[in-house]
Amino acid sequence: MIQVKVFYFNELRVCCYVVWDETKECVIIDPGCFSDNELSRLVKFVNDNDLKPVKLLLTHGHFDHVMGLADVAHQWNLTTYVHPDDIGQIKRATRYCSMFGWKIKEPDTERIDLQDNQEVTFGNSKLEVIHTPGHTQGGVCFYNEEQNILFSGDTLFAGSIGRTDHPGGNYDQLMKSIRTKIMILPENTTVYPGHGLETTIGQEIKSNPFLQ
Ligand SMILES: [Zn+2]
């Protein structure tokens, strides 16, 4: 049985998810922690719940989602799983943050490329990788079929969709990704987005203004 804890990290309130099952193994999705305090809260939660982080997953490489990548990877000696088309975004993130006076460490940890349809496992559980380019070219969602859980990154939000006006963004491509790969999931699928509150596919079909 998969359980999910969300943290809202950094000034852009990125959703960082800790996802675990009965084995206590967990994955950490989008380590956006910026301050020492945010990292401490994440570490404390993992320790208090006796969790064992085994993988670090990125929905995409935007700076707000990777601010704590180096620290979190080092903390538990984790390999980073990311779609290869977003490696450039991660490299850009360090430079982008320094423009705003935010110092983030350059991630130097081991990396594994994600591909569409690939399965990422932890404990007794698995997440399917769904490549959803449009917000960024290497954007992915992670889907657990058994419990109908989707981590949608910045592809789909409650009542909205990801921006496409940053480098690598493409509106038509994003809409195609959402319509052909995400909205086909069961309506009772719980969606955990990269920002904001959770929703369901059924709710978004009904009321998301971008999908009417
Ligand atoms: Zn983004």
CA of 22 to the centre of ligand 1 (A): 31
Structure tokens at 40: 């401490």
* Cα–ligand 1 centroid distance for 23 (angstroms): 31
Fold of 3-211: Metallo-beta-lactamase; Chain A (3.60.15)
Distance 105 CA to ligand 1 centre (A): 19
Q: Walk along the chain (212 residues) and give the pLDDT tens digit of each residue.
A: 999 999 999 999 999 999 999 999 999 999 999 999 999 999 999 999 999 999 999 999 999 999 999 999 999 999 999 999 999 999 889 888 888 888 888 887 789 999 999 999 999 999 999 999 999 999 999 999 999 999 999 999 999 999 999 989 999 999 999 999 999 999 999 999 999 999 999 999 999 999 99
The answer to whether the pTM exceeds 0.75 is yes
Ligand 1 center from residue 62 Cα (angstroms): 5
C-alpha 100 to ligand 1 mean position (Å): 17
Q: Chain-centre distance of CA 209, in angstroms?
A: 23
Q: Which stretches of the chain are assigned E, i.e. beta strand?
A: 3-9, 14-20, 25-29, 52-57, 80-82, 111-113, 119-122, 125-131, 140-144, 149-153, 156-157, 160-161, 190-193, 199-200
